[in-house]
Amino acid sequence: MVKKLKKQGGDSAAESKQLAGTVKESAQQIWLAGLGAFSKAQEEGGKVFEALVKEGVTLQRRTQSVAEGKLAEATNRMTSMATDLSSKASGQWDKLESIFEERVSRALKKLGVPTAREIDALTERVEELNRTVAALRGGAGATARAARPATRKAVAKRPAVKAAAKRTARKAGQ
């Protein structure tokens, strides 16, 4: 190591020579220590580098697995929220549809438009009356005609029949 200067009671030239030697020796030791550290770092630097790479890979894998877990958790939460929102929206649409149908039904009722049930009931009643009329006529041909739906010709003849009935009524009244 560095040698300490001994205090001598004499010569300052000798002291300066001794000081210069001590500084030179210290500088030499520092230089050698630096070279030794450099050599050691060079030898073990590769090993340290490889150890750091292994530690980095391990850390990356842990971080990636944690990130994937968080991503899966966030995805599940978003899916759950989307499902909840979808069901709420569906409920709102159903409610809106119900309100719309109710209002349309009320408006049609005010206008006097019959409901589907009323039309079905009237259709059933007309069919029943046709069967009764056919039975009263007593003929198989009449039954077949009564069972057939009205054709356009029959519908077109009705005004002519009504007009003829009016004329007959007028003549009878004269």
Query: Which string of DSSP letters, residue by residue, matches 5-38?
Result: PPP-SS-HHHHHHHHHHHHHHHHHHHHHHHHHHH
Q: What is d(CA 79, CA 71) in angstroms, rounded to the nearest whole number?
A: 12
**Average of pLDDT values for 113-117?**
88
Q: How confident is the model at residue 64 (pLDDT cuts 50, 70, 90)?
A: very high
**Average of pLDDT values for 116-138?**
94
Exposed, middle or buried, 15 (CB in 10 Å: 0-12/13-18/19+)? Answer: middle
Give per-residue pLDDT as tens, 146-170: 555 555 444 444 555 555 556 555 5
**Average of pLDDT values for 103-125?**
91
The token pair that represents 73 in the structure block: 């958790």
Q: Please give the model's pTM, rounded to 2 decimal places.
A: 0.33
Q: What is the pLDDT of residue 152?
A: 47
**Average of pLDDT values for 48-66?**
89
